[in-house]
Amino acid sequence: MSWIGAHRYWLARRITQLCILTLFWMGAHLHLGILTGNLSASHVFRTVPLADPFAVLQILVTGQSLAGTILLGALIVAVFYAAVGGRSFCSWVCPVNPIADLAAYLKRRFQIRGQFRVAGSTRFWILGLTLPLSAILGVAAFEWVSPIAMIHRELIFGAGLGLLAAAAILILDAFVVRRGWCGSLCPLGAFYSLLGRRSLVRIGFEAERCDRCGDCVVVCPESQIIDYDRMTARGFIDSGQCTNCSRCLEVCPRDAYHFTLRSRRSAAQHLDGGDHHATRSAA
């Protein structure tokens, strides 16, 4: 397969990330109204509001009342990611993703060994701390220290020292902890994991095609979710931690992975809510 074919989703993600960033930049500097604001809150064509639901939640627990615009924006984004998989944000939108992927690539390419291990559950701890801490400090606790927001703002509103946060994440991921930021620490990723637990869009898996070569495990940024037995039973990767980055689709030599929708699969194989729904609509 051609290089482009073997990287079609990778390319699509990079293009998406770049386009979003460019549109925000043009909104700020050329007053082009396609996207104005940034990933914390924005408007599409100066009309449809979008907002980071996690940031809005943090502000709400500080006791501030917020305008309907921002609540609607957060709702739109939350519903979208609940449907397509929360962590699609991580691999398709977040500006930290290329940095984390670069670090992971360097680590593989030069066989850099990680010295420290941090439990993947740490990010859920940090997520759990964010809300009470916001209430105590009286400001959105993660938003005020978030390297994601920092890097993103610097890219849009003028490059300054905030870009050091990008270097810090690169060094952390490449030399200190494998997938350190996205895989262990980031509470926004953890938030989107929970939001997208029951998402509609899933990476489907055909066990009969798989010869367990393990190529997918090597490239997967959340390799703990590649659980052969569970995937075989479900027919798809059933974890909120999957970022839909689709690297597994690209590297699988036997095409065992494909995009699918949760309802169809679960209707065929499981007696859960989706099953009832499918039976009723069939009848």
Partner 1 sequence: MSRRDFLSGAFRGRNVALAATGALAWSHLVDESRGATLSPRPPGARDENDFLAACIKCGQCVEACPFDTLKLATVEDERATGVPYFVPRSTPCYMCEDTPCIGACPTDALIDGTAIDEARMGLAVLSDQETCLAFQGLRCEVCYRACPLMGKALRLEFRPQERTGKHAYFLPVVDSEACTGCGRCEHSCILEEAAIKVLPRELAKGQLGSHYRFGWKEKPEVSRDFTAPERAPDLPAWEHSMDRVLEAMDDLSGIEEP
Task: In angstroms, give the least distance from the CB of 69 to partner 1.
Answer: 5
Instruction: Choose the binding region for partner 1 from 41-49, 104-112, 200-208, 251-259 (rule: CB under 8 A).
Output: 41-49
CB distance 34 to 107 below 8 Å: no
Q: On the CB side of 274, how many CA atoms lie within 13 Å of its CA?
A: 14
- Tracing tokens 């990287």 back to the chain, one arrives at 7
Q: Which of 12, 19, 66, 167 binds partner 1 (CB under 8 A)?
A: 66
Task: In angstroms, give the least distance from the CB of 200 to partner 1.
Answer: 22
Instruction: Choose the binding region for partner 1 from 25-33, 167-175, 244-252, 272-280 (rule: CB under 8 A).
Output: 25-33
Q: Binders of partner 1 among 72-91, rule CB under 8 A?
A: 73
CB distance 173 to 179 below 8 Å: yes
* Sign of the CA dihedral with 228 first, then 229, 233, and 234 last: negative
What element of type H or E holds 3?
Answer: helix 3-6
- C-alpha to C-alpha distance for 91 and 96, rounded to whole angstroms: 9
- C-alpha to C-alpha distance for 216 and 257, rounded to whole angstroms: 10
Task: In angstroms, give the least distance from the CB of 143 to partner 1.
Answer: 7
Tokens of 86: 């929360």
Task: In angstroms, give the least distance from the CB of 41 to partner 1.
Answer: 4
Task: In angstroms, give the least distance from the CB of 99 to partner 1.
Answer: 17
Which residues does residue 37 pair with via DSSP β-bridges, in sequence order? 42
CB distance 24 to 38 below 8 Å: yes
Instruction: Choose the binding region for partner 1 from 37-45, 86-94, 99-107, 212-220 (rule: CB under 8 A).
Output: 37-45
CB distance 172 to 180 below 8 Å: yes
- C-alpha to C-alpha distance for 10 and 19, rounded to whole angstroms: 14
Residue 239 in contact with partner 1, rule: CB under 8 A:
no
Instruction: Choose the binding region for partner 1 from 94-102, 158-166, 212-220, 275-283 (rule: CB under 8 A).
Output: 158-166
Alpha-carbon distances of 41 from 48, 49, 69, 204, 215, rounded to whole Å: 11, 7, 10, 32, 38
Task: In angstroms, give the least distance from the CB of 40 to partner 1.
Answer: 5
Instruction: Choose the binding region for partner 1 from 133-141, 202-210, 229-237, 251-259 (rule: CB under 8 A).
Output: 133-141
Nearest CB to partner 1, comparing residues 144 and 228:
144
Q: Which residues bind to partner 1, rule: CB under 8 A?
A: 27-28, 31, 36-38, 40-43, 49, 51-52, 55-56, 59, 62-67, 69-70, 73, 120-121, 124-126, 128-129, 133, 136-141, 143-145, 149-150, 153-154, 156-158, 160-162, 164-165
